[in-house]
Structure 1
Amino acid sequence: MVKLYDKDLTRKEVAALSGGLGHAAGVRSLELSDGVERGIRMLEFRSGTGLRFTVLVDRAMDIAECEHQGRAIGWHSPTGFRHPALHEYEGEGGLGWLRSFSGLMVTCGLDHTLFMNETSTEEYNYAPRQNAQHSLHGRVGTIPARLTGYGERWEGDRCFLWAEGVVTQAVVFGENLELRRRIEVEVGTNDIQLTDEVTNRGFYRTPHMYCYHINLGHPVLEEGARYLAPIKEVVWAAHENTYEQQGVGYRILPEPQQNFHEQVWQHAMVADGAGEIPVALVNDRLGLGLMVTTKAAQFPCQFNWQNLQAGQYAIGIEPSTHHVLGNNAARDRGEMIWLEHGENRRYDSRFTVLDDAAAVASAEAKIQCIIMQPDEDFPKPTGVFAPIGGRG
């Protein structure tokens, strides 16, 4: 059954109510036409519950806007959803990525994530290019997708909105990695399903790193908002030497700050019985939040990003294939994912909008049933980066 406006309906009953489902839910193609966003193809999803989100086809099919009943969930930075033609990957010493950084989700990868560094490229057997200079968080987030389809799919009396596209990151004498992304939401629900598959289409043995930068802003983020996660221990804090100086811990968020320096944690998480890790940001005043659920086997590492500076106010949930130590450390520790021709990695994630106090309470109970997170604002980082096994 399709649940619309607090009523369960069959497909026939939905068809009788209007000329099409589009009066209540649907997915349609749009194009932005002004400023730095001009020319970006975009898909708009409406699930019928008040959930609306947009997908930037020309930005790796990342999720840009996200709102529920007019209440914003995804973060909007000052950069806007900048057209990829304006992006300079190697600009500003590798920090040019920050000029294209906005939206609910920005994908990082496909062969590099985290900060800038230089790595050997001996696997590509090309003498003029002995090393690669990697910029912040890799290339994929500003590569346009080839849109392979979108629309409605009915399964009996259930209806699913979907879109699928292919993003290719490739170079001569280097990587040829393909990201196939599928996004689905069932009509009448608040669950966005994201299925990614990264495949090596080339014939060189190729490194693969992957991370989602999931960014939440006002009004989900405001003074008193809470970060909930099944945290066993804090592994690392970028600001450990000045841990309490700004007075902002990992659990409870303040109002926008002046002269705030970003804070990043890596937490060691515990998965539930199904091997899943749920992480949420919740606003108790509004009864609003977002829970991100990933699989521990796919994303064994989790980061928490805080950019609480006034005018850029955001918090990030970041599931990652690798530790915060970076590209060279992953190689040195034997934890890099190496893909031979035709090999792939799959990532299955779910974004759930928590639309009232009951949904927030249910999410919190689900997380607490796994493990109670540290109840102090500044738990001491252990510095223990557990080995990541099972990598090809």
Structure 2
Amino acid sequence: MVKTKTARSIDDRLKSVVWDDQSPLSVAIESPKGKIQTRHGRFVGGRADGVEIVRIDTGAVVVNVLPTRGMAIWSIESDSGRFGWHSPVDGPVHPSLVPIHDPSGLGWLEGFDELVVRCGLESNGAPEHDDSGKLVYPLHGRIANLPADGLQIEFDEVSGRLELIGDLRESRLFFTNLRLNSRIRVHAGSAAVQIFDDVTNERSTPATVQLLYHVNVGQPVLEDGSKLILPIEELAPKDKLSAGEIESFNEFGEPQVGYAERVYFAKLRSDAANLTSVMLQNADASQALALTYGTKTLPRFVLWKNTADPADGYVTGLEPATNFPNQRSFEASHHRVVEIQPEQTVCFRVTIDPLSDSESVAEMAERIRKLAGDQPPLIHPSPRPGWSPGA
């Protein structure tokens, strides 16, 4: 009789994690709101070897954070299913194996696997080459492939609040020295996940920054009949191909072999506190993923549609950003970079709400409808000059 013993699973990556229950990042806290627990470990084997993971269980959801991959949120799990997507990359992939500076500029895609990944900080958009063909800015920047340092957990037993804190540094002698301090905050008994990112310029001269939150949603929330609800002030397709689906830009179909990505750029309406929300809901509005974020520092929104065959990545991206993800020089020419003075800090806030019942989905939809107001949105049928190169 043939028998098999498996040391590493390729079907369930979490089975390849070696957990360290003695780590200071592995805690169990009792609060009046309920119990909250964390576990700290590392993946063993394959391209994930050495990637740190912190698993946070609030009692309502489980949040999987990858400090090694730029404090990315790999996935969120709830009783209704997994919030994230099934990438062909099948990560997580250790940053040392991601060829960010591949001559094509597209090496970033070899590590793209998470629910929430940051793009930036020097640039966050399309790859850009100089006149000689040399790569200047790689796709989506470096921050997603920089390991976090200074990891710590801070908690308040009275309120049930817990924060996982990490520092990311994007620096090069004579060029840049940017520090991103990230706090991922949760509360016992709550499904909401809050991201507090503070970017500081630690050089003695001014710096410019771009930041985009690439929030990627696949099945089961994304399906035939899913819909994106958002309070549009102005929206335009990125290119001619995307313009062909402008009438149904916020509607999603079944997986399609050979589907080419569509992208839409937008400015959204916000409330008096400069907060706005967007939500992707499934076909029967029983499950959704919503984002709430500050438009003062994240004034742009990008929708990325990639309803390809699951083998190629059936996913859509909801992307609050400082700018549109064009080449950096184009964005800079339209003043869509953030200037940070020496020792100045700019704060970015994003809340992720995984919604698992019809009532909470309806409540978020109503909030967004109120944000939208009664004034019709301005929707351009073709790429908008100043937003898309060549428009």
Q: TM-score, normalised by structure 1?
A: 0.83
> 5 Å matches for 1:86-105?
86-105=97-116
> 5 Å matches for 1:11-160?
21=30, 25-49=36-60, 51-69=61-79, 71-79=81-89, 80-118=91-129, 133-150=136-153, 152-154=155-157, 156=158, 158-160=159-161
Which amino acid is 2:266 matched to?
H
Q: Verify the 8 A CA contact 2:241 2:262 in the aligned structure 1.
A: no
Q: Verify the 8 A CA contact 2:256 2:307 in the aligned structure 1.
A: yes
Q: 1:70 to 1:241 in 2, by over 3 A?
A: closer
Q: Secondary structure at the match of 1:98?
A: helix
Runs (5+) with no aligned partner, structure 1? 1-18, 121-130, 387-392
Task: Give the match for residue 127 of structure 1.
Answer: none
Task: Give the match for residue 123 of structure 1.
Answer: none
Q: Deviations over 1:43-91 (max 9, x none)?
A: 1011112x11111010111100112115011123121110011111111
Q: Distance in 2 between matches of 1:84 and 1:212?
A: 18
Q: Distance in 2 between matches of 1:93 and 1:65?
A: 29
Which amino acid is 1:365 matched to?
E
Q: Secondary structure at the match of 2:365?
A: helix
Task: Give the match for residue 293 of structure 1.
Answer: 292
Q: Distance in 2 between matches of 1:223 and 1:330?
A: 34
Q: TM-score, normalised by structure 2?
A: 0.83
Q: Distance in 2 between matches of 1:145 and 1:242?
A: 36
> 5 Å matches for 1:1-392?
21=30, 25-49=36-60, 51-69=61-79, 71-79=81-89, 80-118=91-129, 133-150=136-153, 152-154=155-157, 156=158, 158-235=159-236, 237-241=237-241, 243-244=243-244, 249-285=248-284, 287-311=286-310, 312-371=313-372, 380-381=381-382, 383=384, 385=386
Q: 1:203 to 1:32 in 2, by over 3 A?
A: same
Q: 1:92 to 1:222 in 2, by over 3 A?
A: farther
Q: Secondary structure at the match of 2:233?
A: strand
Q: Distance in 1 between matches of 2:247 and 2:285?
A: 22
CA drift at 1:335: 3.7
Q: 1:20 to 1:348 in 2, by over 3 A?
A: closer
Q: Distance in 1 between matches of 2:200 and 2:188?
A: 30
Q: Verify the 8 A CA contact 2:276 2:371 in the aligned structure 1.
A: no
Q: Distance in 2 between matches of 1:57 and 1:151?
A: 15
CA drift at 1:119: 7.4
RMSD after superposition: 2.6
Q: Distance in 2 between matches of 1:147 and 1:104?
A: 23
Q: Verify the 8 A CA contact 2:69 2:148 in the aligned structure 1.
A: yes
Q: 1:382 to 1:244 in 2, by over 3 A?
A: closer
CA drift at 1:381: 4.0
Runs (5+) with no aligned partner, structure 2? 1-27
Which amino acid is 2:177 matched to?
N
CA drift at 1:249: 2.7
Over the matched positions of the two proteins, sequence identity in percent amounts to 25
Q: 1:31 to 1:194 in 2, by over 3 A?
A: same
Which amino acid is 1:108 matched to?
C
CA drift at 1:151: 5.1
Which amino acid is 2:339 matched to?
W
Q: Verify the 8 A CA contact 2:224 2:283 in the aligned structure 1.
A: no
Count how many residue pairs are aligned between Structure 1 and Structure 2.
Answer: 352
Task: Give the match for residue 14 of structure 1.
Answer: none
